[in-house]
Every structure is written in C-alpha cells, then in structure tokens.
Structure 1
Amino acid sequence: MQRITFGTSGWRGILCEDFIFDNVKVVTQAIADNLKASGEASKGVIVGYDSRFMGEQFARECARVLTGAGIKTFICVRDTPTPVISFEILRRKTAGAINFTASHNPPQYNGIKFSPSWGGPALPETTNDIERRANEMMGEVCYRELSLDEAFKTGLLEEIDPMETYLADLANKVDFKAIAKLGTLAVNPLYGTARGYLAEPLEAHGVKVVQINDRRDPYFGGFPPEPSEKYIQDFIKLVKENPEIRLGIATDGDADRFGIVDGDGSFIEPNYIIALLLDYLVRVRGMKGGVGRSVATSHLIDAVAKHHGIEVFETPVGFKYIGELISQGKIIIGGEESAGLSIQGHVPEKDGILACLLVAEMVANEGMSVKALLERLYEQVGRYLTKRVNITLSEQLEAAFPQKIAATPSSFAGVPVKEKITIDGNKFILEDGSWLLFRKSGTEPVVRLYCEASSENRLEALIAAGREFIVG
C-alpha cells in the first residue's frame, strides 16, 4: 500500500494510482484530526481545487469527510488560485484550507496542499503529524461522511467565490494606473486558475490585453502547466511577433508561480525578477525590511540587499519558510528560483498573479524594458548568472552519493572553496563569490545542481566541475 508522504508543497500522486478517493478521504480525516487536536477545528476549513481532472469531485468528497467530522467547510465554486485561497484563510480567519492542486506538475498528477490558519504552506511539524495519522489509518474506513445535501441543510457546508474580495485587495497593492500607461500586455494563464484574475482586472483599469490559453484544459495544452521558457514557446512567439506588446506575463496551473517575457520575446529567469523587484520596492516604493530567499536562489538578491543596506534571510527550499518571514513582517519580499514570490503586507504564500502585476508596474513606472532594467542593475551591483541542471544517477552513483557529498573539496574549477552551507543540500561558496549547490531529489535518482558565476564561461566551468564531482 502506498505511503502518504508530504513534500515541500503537500502530498502529490498520480491519478488512479495512489491519488484515489479512498486515500484522499484518509488524508482529509488526518487533517481534521490534526485540527481537532490543535483546537483550531471550530474555525472552519476552506476547500479549493485547481483546473485539473476531477478537482471538483475530490473537493466534494473532502467536504463530505470534513462536515462528517463536524467541521464547518467553505467550498470554492470554481477552480481557484492557491494565493487566493491563502488570502481567504486570513480574511475569514479559518483554521486553514485544503487545496487540491499539483501546481506545475504534469496533468496526470493531483495533490493535496494543506495551509494552516497563518495562511502559508504547512510547516514540517504539521505535515509530519498529518502523515503519521494518515498512514496509521490507511486501509481502514476511519471517517464519517455527510451527504452534501445534509451538510448544506445543517449549515456545515457553504459555497464561496473569493475572487471579488481578493481582486479588491490587489487593487490596493498594485498601481494599475501606471500599468495602463504601458501599452499592450500579453497574458497567459496556461489553462489554469488565473483565468479571470489577470486579463479582466487589467482591462477594467484600461489596459489593452492580448490573451492566450484562457480556457480550462486539464491537459494544459499537452505540457506541464509551468511558465518556464521550455513550456511557453507559443507565448514567447506571440510576444516576439507583435511589436505592440510591451510585456508578457504568465502563471502556472494554480497561479502561484510566474513567467515573464520581455517585449522582444526574451524569457527572463525568475531569479532576476526577484532581485529587480527588491530594488524597485526599496528605491521607488520606499519599503523597509529585509529580504528572504531560498538557499538555491541567486545571490544577485544579496548584492541588491547590500547596495541598499538591508538584511538577507537564507532559508531551506520550500516557500513555507519564506512565508513565515512574510507573516512575521521581517522582509520586504521573499522569493525562490522556482518562480515564487510574495511581498510585505500580502499573503505568506507564492502569488504569481501579484508577481506578474508588480513586474508590469515596475516596467511602466521605470519606462524601461526588463532587460534594460537588469543591465542597469548589473552596472550597480555586478553581474550574476545562474543555472540549474539535473544529474541522473546510476545505482552505484546513488549509493555513493551520501559519502561523496559529505566531503568538502578544496576547490571547484580552480577556485578554492571558502564556505560550505548545509541548510538544505550542500552549498559550496567559492572565494570569487561564485557557488554550487547539490540537492538530491527525494523521489528520483537525480541530483539537482545549481551554479552561479559572473560570466557565461565561468558558469559553464562550474557546471562541468560540479558534474565531474558527482559522476567522475
């Protein structure tokens, strides 16, 4: 029997294999028991879902188990972005939310993401407890279910649509008037939950929008719903071939990640967007505080922070750690290289909708393209180039990996190692400021290698040295 395991963003599985109704009900009951043990259950739980296959059905079965446990349940009437669900947790002051999403994973996946009352992704102490409870109950009928009719009649179930309140709040955090001066924007919700959350409010504020992939498609056009350069070539082509388009903005399947295409069709890496927005928020908006980034995210952020005299918080991979910093009011902005960010005063969860709109505001107010803004930033703080590659391991290499990575080499690509950081994986800082990070996948025989340097030649040398360290 498949064991329930929560990763950095919840429990995910393949539909009809391990992600089945029986397992979903067990995990739901485990969450209900966790909330009862913590004394939070009386506040109620929001249930949402993204645009994947059977999202509504899983949400309804979840609601039957929650209401069967006597927990008031607020179920979303349509597929809803992850950051919007986070916003609604805080607005309604609920015990949390159960969100059926596999984010940017391929269409055959679905998942359960639990967010507690503080609005961010559940921390390990919470997910470990839910895991334990679920695995102890696997294979048993350990829950009571109410019919939806009975749940509605008793007041334990209520339908909600949090779009209007979220967008009203967003209008206070984004300068739509500035964006309206930018010109034409291209929007790509990638068949996901951001439909209605980007193009429509932009148009309502007088922005001319060209939109593609704006219908629900559980196959996501045949690709993973990830707004990376590899999977949005149709969007890049649209921007490149239409000179009137000043900027392209895209979101992933559950709208917690962003993808930015400059006006000339160039895809801009998320690492650089986080650094640009940090500089913009400090310099133009006058925001004060630190900045949070994961251990795998560019040190361009550190250079910008040093330029402005602000503190950097380095976290393990997983937005829950950055979300904590936002919730505590410690940082202006927090982000990850995997295209997630949020800002001070907003939800402690990745928000691709907000990220896209902030970039549009920045480009409009600065009167420069994203690439031009990045070059200007490089002139001020230095050049940082970042890349991630996956190294597939044979059985022998996988067995040898723990011992190999425990050692600290004296140098990589001819530059001495200055420091080793083990906050999440093994990160080697070199004397010239470049670095490498090795993180072993928890689900497959793959090592993720992250490298950063000040030039393309140096970056490629680091990648080769990192690969040689693992494989050679």
Structure 2
Amino acid sequence: MIQTIPSSPFTDQKPGTSGLRKKVRVFAQPNYAENFIQSVFDAVQPEAGSTLVIGGDGRYHNRTVIQAAIRIAAANGYGRVLVGQGGILSTPAASHVIRKYGASGGLILSASHNPGGPDEDFGIKYNIANGGPAPEAITDAIFARTKVIDRWLTVEAADVDLDTLGSQQVAGTTVEVIDSVADWADLMETLFDFPAIRAAVAGGLSMAFDAMHAVTGPYAVEVLERRLGFRPGTVQNGVPLEDFGGHHPDPNRVHAKVLFDLMFSPDAPAFGAASDGDGDRNLIVGKGIFITPSDSLAMLAANAHLAPGYAKGLAGIARSMPTSAAADRVAEALGIPAFETPTGWKFFGTLLDAGKATICGEESAGTGSDHVREKDGLWAVLLWLNILAARGESMEAIARQHWAKFGRNYYARHDYEALPKDDAEALMAALEASFPTLPGKAFGPLTVEKADSFAYTDPVDGSFSANQGLRVLFVGGSRIVLRLSGTGTEGATLRLYLERYEPAGGTLDADTDAMLSDLIAAAEAIAGIAARTGRSAPDVIT
C-alpha cells in the first residue's frame, strides 16, 4: 500500500554540476533525502513499470538512502530496480548498467572525490536513460519541484538484503541485486586487447594502482589482477570503506602522495595509477614522470587506434574549456573535430549520442569515451596499459615523443578551497568587471589579447549555457581561467587554471612551475586572489 508522507520544502536542494552534495548531517535530516528523491521522480515522471538503477560509492549513509530510495521507487510505479551488490556501483559502471538493461534512469549516491564519513560528504545524482548525468533542463525541473514539494511517497516493506545476489519483491516491484563488477569488466574486454596486455605483464610490465579505499577496489582487483595477471597486491587500498580509510579519495599528487612518491623512487614500477571515490577520475604516473590529465587526454586520443575498440578511428575529441588545448592539436592532426564545452560531463552527452565525439576529457582527472556516458577512471588506466603493451615503450618515451610532435602545454590547476562564498563571488565579479580594460595591457612578458566569460551553444540540441568560467587569453596562446567549482559542500572552491603552450622545437623539458611563473604573477596582478581571499597559496596544486 502506498503511503503519503507530508513534508515541507528545503531551500538548499539545487543540484550542482554533479548532483546534490551536502554534509551527511544535512542529508540525515528527516525528509531531506526523501524530498529530493521524490522531486526527481516528480520531475522525470517515469512510465509505469520502468526500470531504475541505484548504486553508490559505498560511503557512509549509502545503505540508508538506498533502502529509502527503493521504497520510494516502488511507490512511484517503477517495475524493476537494479541495485549494485552491497549498494555499490562505480559511476561509470552505473552508466553502463543503465544503458545495457534499458533503464529509464538511475540514482548514483556519491560525492565523488569528496571525503566520506559521519561528518563528511554525501550526494545524490540522477542519470538519464542514455546513462549520462541529467542535463540542465532536468536538473532545473528537479530544483523547481524541491521548492514546492509537500509530500513524498513510500511503501511499507522490510529492508532489502543488499549483499545477496538475486531478486526480491518490494510491494510488487522487483528488486534485483546485481554483480557490481561483472558487466563493466566484460565491457572492457570488448574494448581492449587483454591478451596483449597479459603478454606484456608476463614479460615484465609492472604497475601500482591505488584504489584509495574507494569504489574501484573490486573492479581493479577483478580486471588488473585476475583477468590481466598483475601480481596480487598490485591494487593497494582495495577494500571500499565508508570513510575511505579516513583519507581524501581524490587522485592527485597531494592525496595520492604515497603512490606519487613511489613512482619517483628507485623502486618505481613502469606504470602507476589511482582512481577516486566513485571511480570516474584517474591519476596517471609513469616511472619518474607525471602525466597531467590534459596531456593524458591528448596522448590517449593520439594512440587510441592501438586498442581494438577504437581501431577504426575517432569521430571527434571533446574537452572541457579549462582543459588544456593539447587535445585540439591531436584532433587537427587526425583531421577530426575538436569540441570545447563547459565543465560537467553532461555537456559531452549530446556529442557522444550524436556520434560527433568518441573520446572526451576534463582537466579534473576525468577521461572517457562513447562506451558509457560518464568519465571512467579505470577505462583510462586500461587504455594506457593497451598503449604500453602495443608500443613496448616507457611512459616517459611516449610522452616525450608526443611533445616533440605536437608541442607541450605546460599546465596546472590551483585550488583555493572552502572560501567564504561572498568573497569568492565578489572576486569573480570584480575580475569580470575589469575585462573591458584588459586587452593590450602587459603583465611582465605577457600581453592580454582577450578576456571574456565563456558561454557555450550545444551544436546538437542548440541549448545555451552562459557564465561557464572567466578567461584571460594572452598573445601567443597562454591563458588563465578562473571558475567556481560546483562539487564542494562547504563555502566555495576557486579554481585557477594556468596554461602555457610551447611549440615543437621549443623548451619541452623544463620545470612546470618555472614555465608558469609569469602566468602565476599575472593572475595575481589581474585577479588579486591573495588580497581578496587572504590566502597566500592554493590549498591544492594539480
């Protein structure tokens, strides 16, 4: 029997670039998660009998919300709910399950790379039938519903056993607990040359993978150790924990320091990688060389033809605006389109669905392809392994040959975290107000060519997105970009992106910080970050 639970709206349920993210204590309020889930169903209005996918990254509060979501889904007429075993599905695996089983959509319970635990972060994101994040039209409708919702629906039913594979009934809805790993791992075998990688491993190819006690541990053990033959223990921190072992599951040089230090030690394996809380980001490190996410996108695209799933070539390459232009040069050499979109994987969805792009990437360590509609951290790791097996060269050799051909985009991102929201917004407003006066001004050796606020018109559906980041472009191809991140739960995170292009034949083997020093100085002179925030240095540099 359907139960109607009276409720009142919350004022803070506007989804960001990756769904609704708040502290666990916020989601744990009576009616808070239930209101949002009901608002999703009210906004998308699923047909009776539709299939819904539910899974998350295993963080604290995951199981509680999954049980509530199952009952709310049953009350709203879903005929089948697919749940990852243990309540776990990586974000790319959830995207694949939605697509494979013809679901109308899915709820992904994650705050991605944010910390987990009773005092940390939680999130809910809705993905649509193509497996990708809901576009702005749908998230806007969800938010509009949250502002007026006055009830949510549920059924009286016992909790589902999330740990046992098989089917159960909840008020007439079939709930299937599915293997969280198998479908995704089988898909990877269709894309990559597993026999060639296994042969390379048998021949001595070594690696280290840090799963950061997050969702990719079981996936990495299955694929890397069991199917590809890397030695047991190759996957470190492989057991998902509700608090990620007390660590920050963000795969960068700061939070994956143990792996990063290993890769620059005398005992380094040939290849190192890490993934994040929900499995959609990656860190790529060769022995003695860090490959930036922007460079990784470009190098993967340039070598993708070596993997069976991409042997026919790429339709196009898409990147987020803050991502370096390195991939654009690969696209030009391949004679295929390059697309520059706002940050947020949802902006790649229409391009992928229309067959205009095959590989996509964001500077925030996210890369993926048309195999799903999310970025996929382990997919990037496997494509790198396929390339290493096919070329028989080191990561360093591959990178240096790439730069010698295409030039090098020296690149870094500086994050200023948990800033007072008003201060961060005032900084951005003041910077944008200065734009008319900037062209022609010199800052050290750099002269401003153009300054603007990035806007995007989708070439497929014509949708328009404004205010997607502030850009200051310099003569010669260097630039700085500033934007406020939509993935945090407290205050505001200001991201400063720095990019300097050095053409082939130029200085390709210099220290990144030294090559970007003039841009760092120009950014401070133009935006006044230290003066306006009181921060003398960023919290994280990637």
Same fold (TM over 0.5): yes
- The whole-number CA distance in structure 1 between the counterparts of 2:333 and 2:427 is 42
TM-aligned CA distance change 1:445 to 1:103, over 3 Å: closer
Q: Contact conserved, 1:32 with 1:41, CA < 8 A, in 2?
A: no
**Counterpart position of 2:388:** 363
| SS at structure 1 position matched to 2:248 | coil
Query: What corresponds to 2:316 in structure 1?
Result: 290
Deviations for 1:152-211, whole angstroms, at most 9, x for unmatched residues? Answer: 362443322242222112101111222221422212211111122123223333422322
**How far 1:223 moved relative to its partner?**
2.1
1:235 maps to what in 2?
259
Distance 2:295 2:192 in 1: 20
Select between 320-329 and 440-449 the one with higher mean Cα deviation. Answer: 440-449
> Which residue number in structure 2 is paired with residue 255 of structure 1?
279
1:281, CA displacement in angstroms?
1.5
Deviations 1:331-365 (A, max 9, x none): 12100001111113x00111111111111111221
The CA distance in 2 between the partners of 1:432 and 1:62, in whole Å, is 53
Q: Partner of 2:84 in structure 1?
A: 76
1:389 CA displacement: 1.7
- Kindly provide the amino acid, as one letter, of the partner of residue 520 in structure 2: I
State the secondary structure of the residue aligned to 1:228: coil
1:380-433: CA deviations, max 9, x gaps? 111211111235679677436424314241245332314645221122332201
1:132 alignment counterpart: 144
Provide the rounded CA distance (Å) in 2 between the counterparts of 1:163 and 1:18: 28
1:438 paired residue number: 482
Most deviating of 8-17 and 278-287 = 278-287
Q: Which amino acid aligns with 2:384?
A: V
Q: How far off its partner does 1:323 sit?
A: 2.7
**Contact 2:481–2:498 (CA under 8 A) maintained in structure 1:** yes
In 1, distance between residues paired with 2:454 and 2:239?
43
> Mapping of 1:77-226 within 5 angstroms?
77-78=85-86, 79-107=88-116, 108-137=120-149, 140-148=150-158, 151-152=169-170, 154-180=172-198, 181-182=200-201, 183-209=205-231, 210-226=234-250
DSSP-derived class of the 1:229 partner? coil
The 8 Å contact of residues 92 and 372 in structure 2, kept in 1 or not, is answered as yes
Q: Is the 8 A contact 2:306 2:390 kept in 1?
A: no
Amino acid at match of 2:399: L
Q: Name the residue aligned to 1:17.
A: 26
- Matched residue type, 1:176: F
2:301 pairs with 268, 278, 300, which one?
Answer: 278
In the alignment, the residues of structure 1 paired with residue 69 and residue 421 of structure 2 have an alpha-carbon distance, to the nearest angstrom, of 40
Question: Helix, strand or coil for the counterpart of 1:46?
Answer: strand
SS at match of 2:323: coil
Contact 1:420 1:426 (C-alpha < 8 Å) held by counterparts: yes
- Going from structure 1 to structure 2, the CA distance change for 1:434 and 1:29 (only over 3 Å counts) comes to same
Larger CA deviation: 63-72 vs 365-374? 365-374
Q: Using the TM superposition, name which of 452-461 and 3-12 deviates more.
A: 452-461
Larger deviation: 457-466 or 153-162?
153-162
Matched, 1:338 2:356: no
Q: 2:66 aligns with which of 42, 54, 59?
A: 59
User: Cα distance 1:42–1:422, how it changes in 2: closer, same or farther (>3 A)?
Assistant: same
1:153 and 1:132 map into 2 onto residues whose CA distance is 29
Residue type of the partner of 1:145? Answer: V
Question: Given the superposition, is the C-alpha separation of residues 41 and 257 from structure 1 closer, same or farther in structure 2, using an over 3 Å criterion?
Answer: farther
One-letter code aligned to 2:346: K
When normalised by structure 1's length, the TM-score is 0.92
Q: Which has the higher helix share?
A: 1
Cα distance in 2 for residues equivalent to 1:322 and 1:172: 22
CA 1:435–1:66 in structure 2 vs 1: closer, same or farther (change >3 Å)?
Answer: same
* Counterpart code for 2:153: Y
Which residue number in structure 1 is paired with residue 44 of structure 2?
35
CA contact (8 A) 1:152 1:158 kept: no
Deviations along 1:22-46, one digit per CA (max 9) or x if unpaired, are 211111111111232xx54532211
Distance 2:442 2:229 in 1: 49
1:402 to 413, 425, 429: 429
Are residues 332 and 14 of structure 1, via their aligned partners in 2, closer, same or farther at CA, if it must alter by over 3 Å? same
Say if 1:305 and 1:312, in contact at 8 Å, map to a contact too.
yes
CA shift, 1:241, in A, is: 4.8
Displacement of 1:237 in angstroms is: 3.6
CA deviations 1:228-262 (Å, max 9, x no partner) are 11111222344445747221121111111111121
TM-score w.r.t. the length of structure 2 is 0.80
Give the letter for the 2:496 counterpart.
L
Q: Which amino acid aligns with 2:21?
A: R
* Structure 2 unmatched runs, 5+: 1-9, 160-167, 456-467, 503-511, 532-542
Letter matched to residue 290 of structure 2? F
The structure-2 alpha-carbon separation of the partners of 1:191 and 1:20, relative to structure 1 and needing over 3 Å to count, comes to farther
CA distance in 2, matches of 1:292, 1:332: 8
2:367 aligns to what SS in structure 1? strand
CA deviations on 1:289-335 (whole Å, 9 max, x unpaired) are: 11100000011111222222221111001011113322221112100
Q: Report if aligned partners of 1:341, 1:350 keep a CA contact under 8 Å in 2.
A: yes
* Structure 1 residues 313 and 454: alpha-carbon distance in aligned structure 2, compared to 1, 3 A threshold: closer
Over residues 112-162 of structure 1, what are the superposed CA-to-partner deviations in whole Å (9 max), with x where a residue is unaligned? Answer: 01001111011111011111112212xx44323331479436244332224
- Alignment-derived partner of residue 447 in structure 2: 415
SS at match of 1:83: helix
Following TM superposition, by how much is the alpha carbon of 1:458 offset from its aligned partner in structure 2, in angstroms? 4.7
Measured in 2, the distance between the counterparts of 1:401 and 1:206 equals 48
Query: Of 411, 415, 421, which residue of structure 2 is paired with 1:386?
Result: 411
Over the aligned positions, Cα root-mean-square deviation in angstroms equals: 2.4
C-alpha change, 1:21 and 1:103, in structure 2 (3 Å) is farther
Letter in 2 for 1:461: D
Alignment-derived partner of residue 291 in structure 2: 268
Q: Report which stretch shifted further, 155-164 or 58-67.
A: 155-164
Letter in 1 for 2:277: G
SS in structure 1 at match of 2:408: coil
